[in-house]
Amino acid sequence: MRIVGVDLGGTRIRVALLDENYTLLKRVEEPTRSWEGPAVTIPRILNLIAGIIDASDEPVQAIGISSPGPIDPVTGRIVSPPNLQGWVDIPLGRIAQERFPGIPTYIGNDANVAALAEVYNGAARGHTHAIYITVSTGIGGGIVIDGKLFTGAHGLAGELGHTVILVDGERVSTLEIEASGPGLARYVARRIREGAQSLVTEMVNGDLDAITGKTVGQAAQAGDPLALEAVTRSGRLIGYSIASLMHLFNPTIFVVGGGVSNLGELLFEPMRQAARAHVIDPAYYEQAAIVPAALGEDVAIIGAAALAIQELEAAGRN
């Protein structure tokens, strides 16, 4: 079997040829240059796909595309992703389908297909009930139920970063706002403005608006107490959300990926502690592992291919 996997990212476009074991047989890559707009970029994507199809040793059975969300799963329309500015209501799925009429084309949002990738070929291999959480500039997720990507009635499910985690009088906030990379940065900047000392102040030459999640992460790894406090807080908040998700979905594994997850145990330890402390029955925690993502930069390509294979199989059954 030969599948084309496409990773449309804010920075890079990557297109690969994979077999049924998700082995990457060939791969090409170009910068996205999203400022050029979809009218320029889409033909480039299609040409990359065409090149990979031509170079394949066997007929290509399907094309899978990973795109920044939100995506309308029924029409394959990219709605208006924050990191692809100017891409408003682009029916990329249909456009690709028209260019390659003999090859079924499927499109999914990046966090959703990453969940599939981890289940089919990564840290959640063998699990049929899995939740993938990506913690970086935002917090996104993908939910796998009975081995299949769960997208809800209209394809918008799995957006676990937007769950309300904090209600304090008039202040209502979400997991993404509080615990993402920018959330780490905001927390540290606020505490420094309140008078806290931190290595971070020096790292950004006193420009507190220049603090990023990465700055905080580096300071935490250097042992800075305030940065460690911020990372612990993020880990705890993600852990509370994991506890909530355990009660809602009762999965057997949580896979946590994204840039912030590279902080490793600094993040995972408070995460696991908070999850364990907030389940009503130990079974919820004991039945679900909490592990780091296993797939690196190829996660979206593998996930796009996994989506295509899953949809091909579903079509075959019907």
Residue 247 and residue 240: Cα distance in Å, rounded?
Answer: 11
The alpha carbon of residue 239 and the mean position of all alpha carbons in its chain are separated, in whole angstroms, by 17
Footprint of a copy of itself on residues 41-100 (CB under 8 A)?
Answer: 70
DSSP string, 162-207: GSEEEEETTEEEEHHHHHSHHHHHHHHHHHHHTT---HHHHHTTT-
Would you state the structure tokens that stand for residue 240, as one six-digit string?
């509370």
Query: For the purposes of burial, counting CB atoms within 10 Å of the CB of 87, is it exposed (0-12), middle (13-18) or buried (19 or more)?
Result: buried
- Regarding 251 and contact with a copy of itself (CB under 8 A), the answer is yes
- Regarding 250 and contact with a copy of itself (CB under 8 A), the answer is yes
Find the part of the chain contacting a copy of itself (CB under 8 A) among 101-109, 208-216, 247-255, 260-268: 247-255
- Regarding 305 and contact with a copy of itself (CB under 8 A), the answer is no
Pick from 256, 248, 250: nearest CA to 288: 250
Q: Rule CB under 8 A: choose which of 159, 224, 298, 311 binds a copy of itself.
A: 159
Return the biggest CA–CA distance within the chain. Answer: 64
**8 sits in which H/E element:** strand 3-8
- Regarding 291 and contact with a copy of itself (CB under 8 A), the answer is no
Footprint of a copy of itself on residues 170-229 (CB under 8 A)?
Answer: 172, 174
Q: Rule CB under 8 A: choose which of 128, 218, 221, 273 binds a copy of itself.
A: 128
- Cα four-point dihedral sign 242, 248, 249, 252: positive
* Closer CB to a copy of itself, 55 or 88, in the complex: 88
Residue 80 and residue 71: Cα distance in Å, rounded?
Answer: 8
- Regarding 317 and contact with a copy of itself (CB under 8 A), the answer is no
- Regarding 167 and contact with a copy of itself (CB under 8 A), the answer is yes
Q: How far is the CB of 264 from a copy of itself (least distance, A)?
A: 23
Find the part of the chain contacting a copy of itself (CB under 8 A) among 100-108, 187-195, 223-231, 246-254: 246-254
Find the part of the chain contacting a copy of itself (CB under 8 A) among 11-19, 106-114, 149-157, 194-202: 149-157
Distances (CA, A) of 265 to 232, 243, 283: 10, 18, 23
SS3 24: strand
Q: Rule CB under 8 A: choose which of 158, 181, 235, 270 binds a copy of itself.
A: 158
Find the part of the chain contacting a copy of itself (CB under 8 A) among 97-105, 189-197, 240-248, 309-317: 240-248
- Regarding 247 and contact with a copy of itself (CB under 8 A), the answer is yes
Q: Which residues bind a copy of itself (CB under 8 A)?
A: 70, 128-129, 143, 145, 150-160, 162-168, 172, 174, 237, 240-241, 243-245, 247-252, 278-281, 283-284, 287
